[in-house]
């Protein structure tokens, strides 16, 4: 009898404890809401300046959310369009990238998208934006110009630009453009190599994107593909259901792909494949890197757990948190982290534990810097899980690839010349614009290369432009000299320091020659994009992509591929 009573007593104790905890929680919530309301009322009444409620309240909301995780975000009515664009990949505008030209101190067209209004009316890379209707844009930043280029679909405006011409001249041009809904390409390129290896570049999980990949894969199969490379590098994710449908292309129906586990029942859900797969046996390699996140990690992680693909590249970002958008009053919105996701092996790949907070502290400085709350899980504390064929995988830090592979690091001079660096001379950008003006057509994307004469012309323009870049070795040498002088070693080793200093004093012409292949690659891909858009740039770039080439080599080596996945030969 006593043994039967213990479970009942335990259940009563737990239920009573839970109710008490809930009551205490609700009491704390009510108490702090009263404090907040009273505080704001007094500020509004007594503060020396008149408060702007929208600004003050939004700052308070942002401060509250900053103590949680970086993905739980509030969107005031003015920002709801940004949320919709993020969720759908769509916006209304002209379909072009713009950038700030450091030398001209003006906003210019950087890259029109294929088949979009900007390209259709004839805008080109390098066009200097002068005005939008009657509003001058000559002293505005990129954000301001972009917001005015966007608007409601169907609205028309007149864009005035200056187009650079030969001899440093500029031609004034006007374009009448009608804005329309722009959907960024989720799959900018797919194709088949001479080795019958298919390649799909996929960069965002928006509504219907998995269907597009399915169609592309079927097309590549019809063309004779014997292996497939799915490129998810720098894919930041998106809709979770699209990741499930993407995995479903290569795995059977009724297979669990991802499970969401949240605090409330409504936030917990298991997603399984529900369509007939296209191909469950074709060798598949998934490319990933440190910017592969969220839905991309569900896809790569599930295919790895199910031993359906070899994952190649570098460790992924580690975002295992699920967000749900919610409508709030007055056309405002919030995106709330409601659960974590777990892939087929049972592991969660979230890299940072945002729940490990210093909740007891009252130091304001800790609230301002959410990184103080974040605790990245060390490898020593991760847990072992197993794939379908018994391969060991771990949680707590993104998807670790089956094969580590990365492209060569870009030399500093190439980085500063390219769009990634800060080059006040804009010499590479200006050379591309000049090249476009002088060449109405170029060879097909895969065949185009600059001639030796082209390279020498560009090289001389860089030298004449006054281009400089941050020489890391020289900076570290200067720091070493300072330290040696401080510690008293410099005088005894002056000759050695002087000799090393002379060796580290880079010569621009020799640096250009030393890194010609990389710089020319950047230059050629930028030119190709101006003629063949993103599709052509990606297609041509595969010739320089060592990770892609390693994936192709693996797919051609059936024995090695099967050995990694522990498949029977």
Q: Catalogue the active-site residues.
A: 294, 305, 319
Residue pair 161/127 in contact by the 8 Å Cβ criterion: yes
Residue pair 415/320 in contact by the 8 Å Cβ criterion: no
Residue pair 399/299 in contact by the 8 Å Cβ criterion: no
CA distance 226 to 300: 20
CA distance 185 to 204: 8
- Exposed e or buried b per residue across 337-376, where buried means at least 16 C-beta atoms within 10 angstroms of its C-beta: bbbbbbbbbebbbbbbebeebeeeeeeeebbeebeebbee
CA 436, 442, 447, 450 dihedral sign is: negative
3-state secondary structure of 564: helix
Structure tokens at 289: 């890197």
Block residue for tokens 């707590």: 396
Q: What pairs with residue 403 in β-bridges?
A: 312
**β 375-376/135-136 pair status:** unpaired
CA distances from 18 to 21, 29, 31 (A): 5, 16, 20
* Helices and strands in the chain, H and E counts: 18, 23
Q: What pairs with residue 385 in β-bridges?
A: 393
- CB atoms under 10 Å from CB of 329, counted, come to 6
């Amino acid at each position: 009898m006593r043994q039967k009573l213990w479970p009942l007593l335990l259940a009563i104790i737990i239920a009573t404890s839970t109710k008490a905890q809930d009551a205490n929680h609700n009491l704390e919530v009510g108490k702090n809401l009263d404090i907040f309301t009273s505080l704001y009322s007094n500020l509004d009444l007594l503060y020396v300046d008149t408060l702007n409620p929208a600004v003050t309240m939004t700052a308070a909301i942002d401060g509250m959310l900053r103590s949680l995780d970086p993905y739980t975000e509030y969107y005031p009515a003015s920002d709801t369009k940004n949320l919709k664009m993020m969720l759908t990949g769509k916006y209304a505008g002209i379909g072009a990238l713009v950038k700030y030209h450091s030398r001209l101190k003006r906003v210019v067209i950087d890259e029109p998208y294929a088949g979009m209004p900007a390209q259709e009316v004839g805008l080109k890379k390098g066009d200097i934006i002068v005005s939008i209707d009657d509003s001058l844009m000559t002293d505005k930043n990129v954000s301001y110009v972009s917001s005015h280029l966007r608007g409601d679909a169907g609205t028309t405006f007149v864009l005035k630009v200056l187009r650079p011409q030969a001899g440093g001249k500029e031609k004034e041009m006007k374009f009448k453009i009608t804005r329309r809904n722009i959907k960024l390409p989720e799959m900018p390129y797919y194709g088949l190599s001479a080795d019958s290896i298919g390649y799909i570049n996929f960069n965002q999980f928006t509504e219907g994107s998995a269907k597009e990949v399915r169609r592309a894969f079927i097309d590549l199969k019809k063309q004779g593909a014997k292996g497939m490379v799915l490129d998810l590098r720098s894919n930041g994710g998106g809709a979770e259901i699209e990741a499930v449908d993407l995995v479903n292309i290569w795995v059977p129906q009724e297979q669990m792909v991802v499970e969401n586990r949240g605090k409330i029942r409504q936030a917990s859900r298991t997603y399984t494949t529900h369509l007939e797969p296209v191909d469950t046996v074709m060798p598949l390699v998934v490319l990933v890197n440190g910017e592969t996140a969220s839905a991309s990690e569900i896809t790569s992680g599930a295919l790895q757990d199910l031993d359906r693909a070899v994952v190649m590249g570098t460790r992924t970002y580690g975002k295992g948190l699920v967000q749900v958008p919610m409508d709030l009053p007055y056309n405002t919105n919030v995106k709330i982290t409601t659960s974590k996701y777990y892939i087929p092996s049972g592991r969660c790949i979230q890299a940072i534990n945002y729940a490990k907070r210093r909740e007891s502290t009252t130091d304001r400085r800790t609230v301002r810097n959410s990184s103080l709350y974040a605790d990245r899980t060390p490898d020593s504390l991760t847990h072992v899980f197993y794939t379908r064929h018994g391969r060991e995988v771990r949680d707590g830090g993104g998807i670790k690839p089956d094969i580590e592979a990365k492209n060569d690091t870009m030399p500093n001079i190439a980085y500063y010349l390219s769009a990634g660096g800060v080059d006040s001379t804009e010499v590479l950008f200006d050379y591309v614009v000049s090249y476009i003006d002088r060449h109405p057509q170029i060879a097909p994307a895969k065949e185009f290369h600059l001639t030796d004469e082209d390279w020498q012309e560009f090289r001389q323009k860089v030298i004449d432009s006054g281009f400089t870049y941050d020489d890391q070795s020289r900076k570290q040498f200067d720091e070493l000299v300072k330290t040696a002088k401080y510690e008293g070693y410099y005088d005894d080793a002056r000759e050695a320091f002087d000799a090393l200093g002379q060796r580290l004093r880079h010569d621009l012409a020799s640096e250009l020659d030393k890194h010609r292949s990389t710089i020319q690659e950047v230059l050629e891909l930028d030119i190709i994009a101006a003629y063949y858009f993103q599709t052509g740039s990606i297609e041509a770039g595969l010739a320089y992509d060592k990770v892609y080439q390693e994936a192709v080599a693996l797919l051609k080596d059936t024995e090695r591929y099967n050995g990694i996945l522990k498949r029977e030969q």
